[in-house]
């Protein structure tokens, strides 16, 4: 039986159901199950919440892989959600939530979260909002850049130089023209 249609919006839906307010969300990708257990234990022991505002359920995917879902709503007006299906923690709050607790939760998750040094953020649109999905950058074993053209070689060189430069944003906009040729812009990273 499927409890939710999309794990990505379940935490937001629970928050709206309990608070009846439009929330803001901060997502922390790449939080594995073992890391999440530590975070969950600290949330449940350090913050006030009502037993009826803790939700946990399991369901099977279409290929019979079990996914665990967990949501908790704190008395401070903040919800936390994690699903094995999306492998990230969501902190969800609204304008009446205690921002001091939001900051504490954010620090709790980021203290445990693993962040690879070299990440690429892909901007995606889903359910009418923009999300950033981070993936770790791993160079190819074989050098294929010379076969991709001068623009791609320049992009790669610029990215490699900026990985260690903390003052650069690392933002690169890559888009295609109608004729499908790749166009690159370097906005003063």
Q: For the chain, list the domains and their CATH numbers.
A: 7-116 (3.60.90), 119-127+131-185 (no CATH)
For the chain, give the mean pLDDT: 81
pLDDT at residue 116 is higher than 80: no
Other beta carbons less than 10 A from residue 20's beta carbon: 8
Angstrom CA distances, 178 to 45, 122, 125, 148, 187, stand at: 55, 21, 21, 19, 21
Our CA angle for 100, 101, 105, nearest 5°, is: 125
C-alpha torsion 9→10→16→18, nearest 10: -170
The structure's pTM equals: 0.60
Alpha helices in 51-148 (DSSP H): 99-112
Using N-to-C axis directions, what is the helix angle for 33-46 and 99-112, rounded to 10°?
Answer: 150
Query: Exposure of 12 by Cβ count < 10 A (0-12 exposed, 13-18 middle, 19+ buried)?
Result: buried
Q: In the structure, what pLDDT confidence band is assigned to residue 111 with cuts at 50, 70 and 90?
A: confident
pLDDT tens digits, residue range 30-75? 888 888 999 999 999 999 999 999 999 888 877 787 888 999 999 9
Is 116 or 38 the better-scoring residue by pLDDT? 38
Instruction: List Cβ neighbours of 135 (8 Å cut-off, separation of 6 or more).
Output: 119, 120, 122
Instruction: List Cβ neighbours of 52 (8 Å cut-off, separation of 6 or more).
Output: none
């Amino acid at each position: 039986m499927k409890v939710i249609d999309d794990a990505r919006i379940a935490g937001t839906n629970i928050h709206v159901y309990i608070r009846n307010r439009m929330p803001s969300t901060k997502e922390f990708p790449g939080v594995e199950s073992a890391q999440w257990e530590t975070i969950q234990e600290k949330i449940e022991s350090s913050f006030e919440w009502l037993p009826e505002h803790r939700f946990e359920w399991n369901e099977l995917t279409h290929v019979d892989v079990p996914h665990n879902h967990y949501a908790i709503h704190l008395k401070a007006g903040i919800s936390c959600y994690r699903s094995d299906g999306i492998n990230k923690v969501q902190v969800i709050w609204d304008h009446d939530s205690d921002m001091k607790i939001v900051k504490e939760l954010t620090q709790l998750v980021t203290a445990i979260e693993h962040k690879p040094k070299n990440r690429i953020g892909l901007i995606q649109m889903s359910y009418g909002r923009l999300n950033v999905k981070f993936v770790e950058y791993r160079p190819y074993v074989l050098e294929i850049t010379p076969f991709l053209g001068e623009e791609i070689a320049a992009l790669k060189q610029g990215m490699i130089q900026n990985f260690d430069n903390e003052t650069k944003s690392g933002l690169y906009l890559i888009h295609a023209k109608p004729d499908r040729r790749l166009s690159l812009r370097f906005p003063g990273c």
